[in-house]
């Protein structure tokens, strides 16, 4: 079930859902990818959601693989 726009705004504005001010952690929110607290700054991951943790892990692995396997310019 998709949350309503009002529910999303309520979750987004609730300081209890933001750890250390910038880490989104809300087990009630089914979305894995959410707007950052300051929305113009982009997106962040919902670390209380399996989809969110999967997104974070995939991005981290891609970055590491790029650092290891892409040729270095001298």
* pLDDT tens readout for residues 36-72: 988 899 999 999 999 999 999 999 999 999 999 998 8
What's the pTM value of the predicted model, to 2 decimals? 0.79
pLDDT attached to residue 71:
85
Asked, for residue 49, whether it belongs to a domain, the answer is yes
Domain around 14: 5-69
37 domain-assigned:
yes
Is residue 1 pLDDT above 80, yes or no?
no
Q: Which long-range contacts (CB under 8 A, 24 or more apart) does 7-12 make?
A: 12/37
Q: Is residue 74 part of a domain?
A: no
């Amino acid at each position: 079930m998709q949350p309503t726009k009002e529910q999303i705004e309520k979750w987004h504005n609730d300081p209890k859902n933001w750890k250390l001010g910038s880490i989104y952690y809300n087990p009630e929110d089914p979305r894995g990818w959410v707007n950052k607290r300051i929305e113009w700054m982009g997106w962040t991951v919902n670390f209380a959601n399996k989809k969110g943790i999967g997104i974070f892990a995939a991005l981290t692995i891609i970055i590491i693989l790029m650092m290891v396997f892409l040729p270095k310019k001298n």
